Amino acid sequence: MDFWKETRFVVTGGGGFLGSFVVEALQKRGAQQVIVPRKAQYDLREREATLDLLNDAHPEVIIHMAAVVGGIGANREHPAEFFYENLMMGVGLMHEAWRAGVKKFVSIGTVCAYPRITPVPFQEDDLWRGYPEETNAPYGLAKKMLLVQGDAYRQQYGFNSIFLLPTNLYGPRDNFDPASSHVIPALIRKCYEAKQRGDSHINAWGTGSPTREFLYVEDAAEGILLATEKYNDPAPVNLGSGKEISIRDLTHLIAEFVGFEGEIVWDATKPDGQPRRMLDTNRARESFGFQAQVDFHEGLKRTVDWYLSEGHISE
């Protein structure tokens, strides 16, 4: 427990969806020095703001989760923004963290970094065997550069940087904005609003045939903190549940949980994205003992229940 109590942490993106759960998990472990920088005060795209953060906080460990993210639609509309802002935040922060003597840098990457056609389950060694899915390649490659940078800084400077690859996350407090949300919150909101209006059907993107793997947000936070404490190697590590579900089955399951009984109409003119996604999770289990605990049906039910009870109220 001394590691948690005596270490000064900076958690970028700590006010966001995943970040808020990581901060809570840190506090449950007894961490007493957790700094969560806000964009209004520390715009990490700017070098001076990054230097201010490091000078003010004096962190020993940085968990870098700040990111500009969204679903397929948002990635298609803002590819330059997603590339530039994610790249500049991460690269500048890691460089200045090394210069400031930070002991450990934990980069949170993305499953979007994997090549479009990757054997399932995705193994970490497959990361460089092709170009990512075009709809989210700028975002995926910007995050992937932190793996390259961390490896280079480790080789030249002995800098302790690790790189984690979470799969698609879900859970309470997710982003339910239809303009920028990922598939699960987007479908929950769509089904809820259609039910409220009494609609006879909803339109869903694509064919419904692609598969996705989902990791409950509390499980993801646990995996990140286990790696923060125990993992110090350069090799990237997947964080996932090891299970996949088709978008079609997912949509019907969400409709059932929300109580929407209308028809689901698939719009094949919209992109499906990557055909399949599921991660090989052996390295995380063997390296630092991480294994997802929350069953997908249970986690999805918790997410829907949270949205129905309080998530839609603030919209």
Give the domains, in start order, of the chain with CATH numbers: 2-174+213-243+277-294 (3.40.50.720)
Residue 216 annotated in active site:
no
Looking at residue 313, its pLDDT comes to 64
The pair of structure tokens assigned to 289 is 């003992």
Query: Could you tell me the end-to-end alpha-carbon distance of the chain, in angstroms, rounded to an integer?
Result: 40
Angle at which helix 217-230 crosses helix 17-28, to 10 degrees, equals 60
Whole-structure pTM value: 0.94
**Cα 292 to Cα 243: distance, rounded to the nearest angstrom:** 10
pLDDT value, residue 180: 78
pLDDT reported for residue 271: 85
What pLDDT, on a 0 to 100 scale, did the predictor assign at position 273? 82
Closest CA to 10 of 48, 60, 47: 60
Nearest to 247 by CA among 226, 223, 268: 268
Q: What angle do CA 246, 17, 239 make, to 5 degrees?
A: 55
pLDDT tens, position by position, for the chain (315 residues)? Answer: 589 999 999 999 999 999 999 999 999 999 999 999 999 999 999 999 999 999 999 999 999 999 987 777 787 898 999 999 999 999 999 999 999 999 999 999 999 999 999 999 999 999 999 999 898 899 999 999 999 999 999 999 999 999 999 999 999 999 998 877 889 999 999 999 999 999 999 999 899 999 999 999 999 999 999 999 999 999 999 999 999 999 999 999 999 999 999 999 999 999 888 888 899 999 999 999 999 999 999 999 999 999 999 877 655
Fill in the amino acid letter for 186. Answer: A
- Out of 139, 153, 170, 192, pick the active-site residue: 139
Burial class (CB in 10 A: 0-12, 13-18, 19+), 165: buried
CA pair distance 223, 230, nearest whole angstrom: 10
